[in-house]
Amino acid sequence: MNNKNLKRFLRKPLNIIGLFFILIVISGAIFGPYLSPYDPLQLDAVNRLKPPSASHPFGTDDAGRDILSRVLTGARISLAIAPIVVIPSLFIGVLIGVIAAYKGGLIDVVLMRFTDIVLSFPKVILAMAMVSALGPGIFNAVLAVVVIWWPSYARLARALLLTEKGKIYVEAARSIGCSDLRIVVTHIARNCVSPFIVKMTMDSGMAILTTASLSFLGLGAQPPTPEWGAMVAVGRTYIQHYFWVPTFPGLAIFIVVLGFSLLGDGLRDELDPRTSL
C-alpha cells in the first residue's frame, strides 16, 4: 500500500473504527498483565457476582474472579488464535491450490474434489465432530478450525494462479528457462499477495469467532481458562440477573470480529485495483 492508498484508507471512518478496535484489543493483550487489577484465576467467594464498581469495573463472575482481568488475559488467547489458524491454513491451502492449478489434469481433479468434499460440510459441524473425536481442549479446537479453513485458500490460490499463468510475463519467464517453482514464487506470487492479505485479515476475526463458538459449546478452552467463548458459556446461566458476567466477554468478541471485518473491507478497497481507482 503506497502513501496515496494509505491516506485514502485513513480518510474513511469505518476503516479508522476497525483499526481502533484492533488496536484496543492488541493493547489489552500486550499490557494486560500490567493493567489487570487482579489475578484472573483468583477465587473470591465473598465477592462473587458483584456488579461493576470502582474496584471491579466489569464486575465479578460466579467464582468471584475479576471479569476485567479475565477479559484482558483472554485477549492474548484470542489474538494468538488468529495467526495460529490463519497461517497454517494459508500454507496448506496455497500449496494445494498451486499444485492443482499448475499441474492440471488428474492431479487438479483429485485435489479440487477433495477440497470440495471438505467444503461440503458445514464448518462448525465438522469442527464439532473433530473436537468430539479428539477430545475437548483449546489445542484440538484450533486444529479443527485449521482443517475446516484451508479449502477456501486452496480455491483462491487455484483461481488466481489459473488467471496469471496464461499471461505474457509467465510465458516470457518460461521462455528464458525459469523453473516452475521460480515462476510461481518470484513472478506470480507478487501479483497475488493483495487478495490473500485481505482474506487473512477478514479470516482472523472469523477464526476467533469460530474458536470461541467451540469453547461456548464446551469443546474448546475449558474453565477456568479465561477464554472469551468459555466465559460467555459460563455467564449465560446468570444473564437474567447478572448481565455483566457474559456481556463483557461477549462485547470483546464483538469488537475484535467487527474490527477485523472493517479492516479487511478497507484493505480490499485499497488493494484491489478494480476498486482503488
pLDDT tens for each residue of 44-74: 889 899 999 999 999 999 999 999 999 999 9
In this prediction, residue 216 carries a pLDDT of 93
Instruction: For residues 77-87, give the mean pLDDT.
Output: 93
The CA-based diameter of the chain, rounded to the nearest angstrom, is: 77
Sorting pLDDT into bands at 50, 70 and 90, what band is 272? low
When pLDDT is averaged across residues 162-187 and rounded to a whole number, the result is 78
Band of pLDDT at residue 36, cut at 50, 70 and 90: confident
Q: pLDDT-based confidence at 207, cuts 50/70/90?
A: very high
Backbone angles phi, psi at 246, to 5 degrees: -90, -20
Q: Can you list the alpha helix ranges (DSSP code H) found in the chain?
A: 3-11, 13-35, 67-103, 105-120, 123-134, 138-164, 168-175, 180-182, 193-216, 228-235, 244-271
Q: Which pLDDT tens digit goes with each residue over 87-114?
A: 999 999 999 998 998 888 899 999 999 9
**Taking 60 as the threshold, does the pLDDT of residue 220 lie above it?**
yes
Cα–Cα distance measured from residue 219 to residue 210, given in angstroms and rounded to the nearest whole number: 11
Residue 253 predicted with pLDDT over 50: yes
- Which superfamily does CATH assign the domain made up of 3-271 to? MetI-like (1.10.3720.10)
Residue 64 confidence (pLDDT): 92
Q: Give mean pLDDT, residues 72-92.
A: 93
Split at pLDDT 50, 70, 90, the class of 2 is low
pTM of the model: 0.88
Residue type, 72: L
Q: Is 193 exposed, middle or buried (0-12, 13-18, 19+ CB in 10 A)?
A: exposed
